[in-house]
Structure 1
Amino acid sequence: MARKLGRIGFAVLIYSIIFQSVSLAQVTGVEKAEAMFIYNFSRLIEWPPEYRTGTFVIGILGASDLFPELVTYTTGKKVGFQDIQVKKFKTTDEIVKCHVLFISHAKSSSITEVAGKIANYSTLLISEKPGTIEIGAAINFLIVNNKLQFELKPENATRYNLKISQKLKEMAVTLY
């Protein structure tokens, strides 16, 4: 019993450290911070059973410096028992089934098209442009007081059969 409580306490401590607002001064570049957040989001969301086997795919739509940062950050890591693969899509036509899809600022005007494209997938849609959470993104990155934070709209994740943990809800700067 004490060992179980110790594990729970340790897990809470780790999640608190990982998800505290990441100061951009501490992390060189927004992309490194976004990579860290995206990986940790993937561990706080429950995917349907058919998405818990095989490779865990994180897609990036559009030109973004996030791609190499995400590849570097996730190398050797897993989501559950799944190896992680990061894919880059230049256009919406290239999008294939993935667990997480990040839409670059430059491609955010196509979010409605993207939402239609992934309608039959259980995909977490993440953006980095104000207003995109109202039109489909489940998570949107923001910079507040030089810190990377995020807003969350669980309803947009539920639409794709994803379950957002209470911990993730509590960490969002804005919850819709």
Structure 2
Amino acid sequence: MMIKRFLGIALLCMLFININAQTAVEKVEASFIASFMRYVRWPQQESMKTFTVGVYGNDHAILNELNSTVNGKSVGYAKVNVIEVSSIEDMKNCQVLFIPKGKSGRLKKDLEQLGNHAVMTVTEEQAYTPAHSIINFRIVDNKLTFQLNSEIAEQKNIVVSSKLAQMARN
């Protein structure tokens, strides 16, 4: 009986540690995205009243982190608004679109429909970089890094600063 109780408590502790480690990744990703917003220029950025950061699907951990990190802040004169995205219409209204791991393949058709809309797509695929992704998060040597596809950014008239390009690990 005592062993079962100990194993149950140990399992709960391991679960808690794993959840906290995952939350730490989302915190860092949210901080990266906040930084990207300072090093990237969108078409008509000066005339924007709202700057929208969308999170596809129901990834509440990153949604919560982005809400606490960037929601209500400003990009130029525009106030940042963080939303949950579920349709192509929602995606077209975003300046930044975060697509959690495992979901970018399912969205291929929708993302192709975005065409050259000035939406900076941010993914987190470990094994590959999605063709539509401007920024892709990866964990390398236990550190969160990112890859940058400046060619796609250019097609969408999104200007990435040279400082951000230098920080990327392609």
TM-score category, normalised to shorter length: 0.7 to 0.9
Deviations 1:114-142 (A, max 9, x none): 32232142110110014653511011001
Q: Note if 1:32 corresponds to 2:46.
A: no
Offset at 1:95?
3.0
The residue that corresponds to 1:141 in the other structure is 137
Structure 2 vs 1, CA of residues 118 and 124 (structure 1 numbering), >3 Å: closer, same or farther? same
Match of 2:161 among 143, 148, 165: 165
Alignment size in residue pairs: 150
Partner of 1:42: 37
Deviations 1:124-174 (A, max 9, x none): 011001465351101100111221110111001111111111000000011
In 1, the alpha carbon distance for the partners of 2:90 and 2:41 equals 25
Which ranges of structure 1 fall in alignment gaps of 5 or more residues? 1-24
Q: 1:76 to 1:132 in 2, by over 3 A?
A: same
2:42 partner amino acid: W
Give 1:63 shift. Answer: 2.3
AA in 1 matched with 2:55: I
Compared CA separation, residues 157 and 105, structure 1 to 2 (3 A): same
TM normalised by structure 2 equals 0.78
Once the two structures are overlaid, the 10-residue window that deviates more, 65-74 or 84-93, is 84-93
> Aligned partner of 1:160: which letter?
K
Alpha-carbon distance in structure 2 between the residues aligned to 1:26 and 1:170: 27
Q: Equivalent residues in 2 for 1:4-153 (5 A)?
A: 29-49=24-44, 52-64=47-59, 65-92=61-88, 94-130=90-126, 133-153=129-149
The letter of the residue matching 2:54 is G
Say whether the 8 Å CA contact 2:122–2:135 is kept in structure 1.
yes
With over 3 angstroms needed to count, the CA separation of the structure-2 counterparts of 1:36 and 1:90, relative to structure 1, is same
Task: Give a deviation string over 1:52-93, Cα, whole Å, max 9, x none.
Answer: 411000011122120010001114421112110011023556
- Distance in 1 (CA, whole Å) between partners of 2:41 and 2:82 is 19
Tell me which moved more, 42-51 or 64-73: 42-51
Q: Is the 8 A contact 2:72 2:81 kept in 1?
A: no
Letter paired with 2:80? I
Q: Does the aligned pair in 1 maintain the 2:146–2:168 contact within 8 Å?
A: yes
**CA distance, structure 1, for counterparts of residue 74 and residue 22 of structure 2:** 22
Question: One-letter code of the match for 1:89?
Answer: V
Structure 2: runs of 5+ lacking an equivalent: 1-19
Larger radius of gyration: 2
Cα separation, partners in 2 of 1:133 and 1:51, compared to 1, 3 Å:
farther
Identity of aligned residues (%): 33
